[in-house]
Structure 1
Amino acid sequence: MISTVLLCTNLTKEYLNITFEKNYRTTGSAINFNLINQLNKSNQKAIELSTYIYTKTTDLNTLQLILKIKKEQKEIETELKQLSEKNLIIIPNSIYNKSLKLDSSSFKNIKKLYFNLLETELNKQINIFDSIKISTRNPDFKQFAIRSLAKLNSNHKILEARYTLIQFTPKTSFCKKSF
């Protein structure tokens, strides 16, 4: 029994010089929860605005564009929820006022206003995804940001061109018949 104790004592002396290092896994960390929350809010607003514009517009090209934007916003929403669940992130429900009833008396063309608001939300999302792409060390969120940026930049350019056309299109006026 004494020999066993001596043997164990000798073994512990050999391992005293070993230093232990902790290797922390950094791939899953460094997700800015505030950015994720802002992205979710902006995404919800963009979906709501595109739905509203869709119901108020009759131009076929505009309808196609708005449907494309809404579809891609829904895809972003779905992927954001999946990534959030995978990374154990809880996204709070949006608290902002979802009512789109604006004081239209100060705006000459309400359609321009909603296009402008949608363009603003797309800009916000582009900025948020740029920040996520740069700051996150999570490869899933980085790839999500890169894919979403491609869609958003494309939609933003098309929407901006369409908004410019709406802005400079003269209103059709009906001429009164003169007798």
Structure 2
Amino acid sequence: MDLKDRLLIRKFNEKSISEIEFRKTFSVDLRLNQDFILSNLYLALKEEDPELLDYTLALFFFDPGFMNSEKYVHVLSRILDCEWHFRHEDIIALLEGTKSIECVEILYNTALRNFKYLEYDNTYSLARKCIHALGRIKTKEATEKLEILARSDNSIIKEKAEKQLYNIK
């Protein structure tokens, strides 16, 4: 993704250009080349580039079918496990939307992680988002992970997991 594309994404996010203008001037027709998003996610992962990740995540707006596709789940799961960025909550939301069984393990593991940039967060916001995502996935595997989390020594994690289990049943 070149600088021109990044500038266009920024302008679109700031609402200083319309979606039509964005689509006309962006280097790739995202309706025809959805692999552009996927390849940039892999590049951001390989190069540990948080800025490229930010711009690429903004492009999900242009792939409304992503929730019905598992093509992004693997790379998003790998990125979720990394410490070089601050977009964990956004990635959890994207994975939750796919309801893919493939992301159950990483959501569970992330619920138990303590990222350095979240040391101040005594509300366990990231863990709660992971638990909510597991509750939305509603598979046997997701339910098993929620049952484990419901036995946590952490009262916030335990309570959120219990609530999700109650909502599933």
TM-score, reference length from structure 2: 0.26
Q: What TM-score, normalized by structure 1, do the two folds share?
A: 0.24
Which structure is larger by alpha-carbon Rg, 1 or 2?
Answer: 1
* Higher relative contact order (CA closer than 8 Å, sequence separation 6+): 1
